[in-house]
Amino acid sequence: QELGCRTTHCNLEVVHRSTLVFLATKPHILPGVLEEIRPAVGSHHIVVSLVAGVTIQTLQRLLPPWTKVLRIMPNLPCVVQAGAMVFSRGSNAGDEEAALLKSLLSSCGLCEEVPESYIDIHTGLSGSGVAYVYLFAEALAEGAVKMGMPGALASRIAAQTLLGAAKMLLETGEHPAKLRGDVCTPGGTTIYALHQLEKGALRATVMDAVEAATNRACDMAKD
């Protein structure tokens, strides 16, 4: 309220008072919400869904035929304005609606328009991928703790290492393999460490994780 926002427990009130409407429910709740708001949705409304596993085709079937529908998939770092989001648009959503949504979402991080078939892949890559990175950060820090560094210090350095590496990827535009090679020197510490990671099949394991999460996202869409 201090920021001029209105709150309500009534879905219809949201639709009556808004042009841009975000759907952020659990998948099994969404059909009931759409049935409730359907009579109030006009041709001027833009409906944006964050609901996992619900396709644009399903949204368009449950809403009036003129509805401008878009589907987005964010990830957790949006809360610190460092997210990675993708969105797709339905048949009635044009360039104006896409530009508006991208403008709004860009304040929360990277935002890309993609074919809808990429959304489940994005879930495996970035939506769930945040957890893979946290696990890797935890392992980095624990390795340092094993060698004698205090845990809090190790965690801070691990996080900064990931942040710095990500920033270099984004700002240089270089392929990860090129930057990885730049860190290695013949007979140095890094190539010895990478040898251990390769023996542990880190690369294949991460690829398998992305595949598993993507397939699960696809299965959820079929349920």
Per-residue pLDDT of the chain (223 residues), as tens digits, is: 788 888 899 999 999 999 999 999 998 999 999 999 999 999 999 999 999 889 999 999 999 999 999 999 999 999 999 999 999 999 999 999 999 999 999 999 999 999 999 999 999 999 999 999 999 999 999 999 999 999 999 999 999 999 999 999 999 999 999 999 999 999 999 999 999 999 999 999 999 999 999 999 988 877 6
Residue 64 structure tokens = 């009036």
| Alpha-helical runs (H) found in 76-125 | 95-105, 117-122
- pTM beyond 0.85: the answer is yes
Instruction: Write the single-letter amino acid at 171.
Output: E
Residue 193 structure tokens = 């460490």
CATH of domain 11-127: 3.40.50.720
CB 89 within 8 A of CB 111: no
Quote the CA–CA distance of 153 and 86 in Å, as a whole number.
34
CB 191 within 8 A of CB 184: yes
Quote the CA–CA distance of 56 and 209 in Å, as a whole number.
26
CB 180 within 8 A of CB 82: no
CB 71 within 8 A of CB 119: yes
Quote the CA–CA distance of 170 and 10 in Å, as a whole number.
42
Q: How many CB atoms lie within 10 A of CB 59?
A: 21
- To the nearest 10 degrees (0 to 180), the angle between helices 202-222 and 189-199 is 50
- Domain ranges in the chain are 11-127, 129-222
Top CATH class of 129-222 equals mainly alpha
DSSP letter string over 95-106?
HHHHHHHHHHHG
CB 63 within 8 A of CB 40: no
